[in-house]
Structure 1
Amino acid sequence: MVISSTNPHNKEIAIRRRIASIFNKREDDFPSLREYNDYLEEVEDMTFNLIEGVDVAAIEAKIAKYQEENSEQIMVNRARKAEELAAALAASKGQAAQTANDVGASQDFGAVPQGQYAPTFAGQPRPTGMAPQPLPLGGSDMPGYAGDDDETMRLRAERGARAGGWSLEISRKRALEEAFGSMWVC
């Protein structure tokens, strides 16, 4: 796979995402911490060499071989990650997280509840249903709209500044300190 991009940062991000999706073992997949660290070091060496363009053909062959030999474990780890993300999302929304057994027991094969992931053959999780769209805040009350007068805009600016920790007293104190700090006494 050749990744061409004018921005080297985007190239690195794309390579790291690709490698992370293939080499997705975790510490609990290894009998010892040493073996896990060796695995991480090997993955990072391959990633670095791909980013720098060092021996790309040999690394791509190694990746293809690993992917072929470990395709089942790669899929299992991707599914596990998707389930953990779904559980974290449910927990952040204050809902009880459903396990895969709960989902399978409560629905038919083709039916997946809103917000859950439907299985795909490519191995990538796919969100189902329509995600709720964020609503704009304020509408016509937003600064800069025709309904705002000067007093309203000034109050909004003051409140925003105070919310950010700014105050007139701090500005005055800093100006005085800078002025007196730059004076030389002879």
Structure 2
Amino acid sequence: MVVASTNAFSKEMAIRKRIANIYNKREENFPSLREYNDYLEEVEDMIFNLIEGIDVPAIEAKIAQYQRENADQIMIAQARKAEEYAAALAASKGQPAQSDGDALGQGPQAGSSTGPQGHYAPAIAGGIAQPRPTQPLPVGSFPDMLGGEYEDDEKTKLRTERAAKAGGWSLEISRKRALEEAFGSLWV
């Protein structure tokens, strides 16, 4: 029972992640809040239909067409998201975010390969900064951090079950507690 809900949850999360990487416009991309809300509603309808298996070929065709028509905007939004993530990560570590001027060698440490003590700054080859990559990697394409290989549904399910057991959780305890709480709330 728990496995079925875990599979449904992982399916939904995979669909949401995939659609969010494609349909990634923000409110500032729209002239009015109403149009933005319509866009969000359309995206949620597509996600729901994909999860439930309703008219999947038509939705997949619509997604493919949207990807072809908006490929540049999708790449720009993914790059912007990666830069925002990097800035947030640097801020969470208490380090100031590196500006584009610093990254291009125009900052106070131009020409050096290290920044403040112990920190890495990109090397500059021949006084010219290396260009940024033009296309970010898709979020789901990174190898598993533990095993160095890609995870399929079976490995994800097995890892989830092992983590639950390691944490002391079991289905029997959960059922027993639910029954005790249900019967404990009855008034005679």
Please tell me the TM-score bracket, short chain as reference. Answer: 0.5 to 0.7
Please report how far the alpha carbon of residue 20 of structure 1 lies from its aligned counterpart in structure 2 after TM superposition. Answer: 0.3
Equivalent residue letter for 2:59: I
- Give unpaired runs (5+ residues) of structure 2: 1-5, 112-118, 123-130, 140-188
Give identity over the alignment, percent: 64
Among 127, 136, 160, the alignment partner of 1:123 is 136
* Alignment TM-score, normalising by the size of structure 1: 0.56
**Shift in CA distance, 76/101, structure 1 to aligned 2, threshold 3 Å:** farther
**Shift in CA distance, 101/58, structure 1 to aligned 2, threshold 3 Å:** farther
Q: RMSD of aligned C-alpha atoms?
A: 2.9
Partner of 2:176: none
What are the residue-to-residue correspondences of 1:136-155 with 2, within 5 Å?
none
Indicate the structure (1 or 2) with the bigger Cα radius of gyration: 1
Please report how far the alpha carbon of residue 93 of structure 1 lies from its aligned counterpart in structure 2 after TM superposition. Answer: 1.0
Matched, 1:64 2:57: no
Matched, 1:53 2:53: yes
- Contact 2:79 2:135 (C-alpha < 8 Å) held by counterparts: no
Please report how far the alpha carbon of residue 101 of structure 1 lies from its aligned counterpart in structure 2 after TM superposition. Answer: 3.7
Equivalent residue letter for 1:68: R
Partner of 1:144: none
What are the residue-to-residue correspondences of 1:1-186 with 2, within 5 Å?
7-105=7-105, 114=120, 119-120=132-133, 122-124=135-137
Residue-by-residue CA offset, 1:5-32 (whole Å, 9 max, x unaligned): x811111000000000000000111111
Q: How many residue pairs get matched?
A: 117
In structure 1, how many angstroms separate the alpha carbons of the residues matched to 2:59 and 2:72? 21
- Give unpaired runs (5+ residues) of structure 1: 1-5, 127-186
* Alignment TM-score, normalising by the size of structure 2: 0.55
Equivalent residue letter for 2:137: Q
**Larger CA deviation: 22-31 vs 93-102:** 93-102
- Runs ≥4 residues deviating over 3 A: 105-108, 113-116, 118-122
Equivalent residue letter for 1:89: L
Please report how far the alpha carbon of residue 124 of structure 1 lies from its aligned counterpart in structure 2 after TM superposition. Answer: 2.0
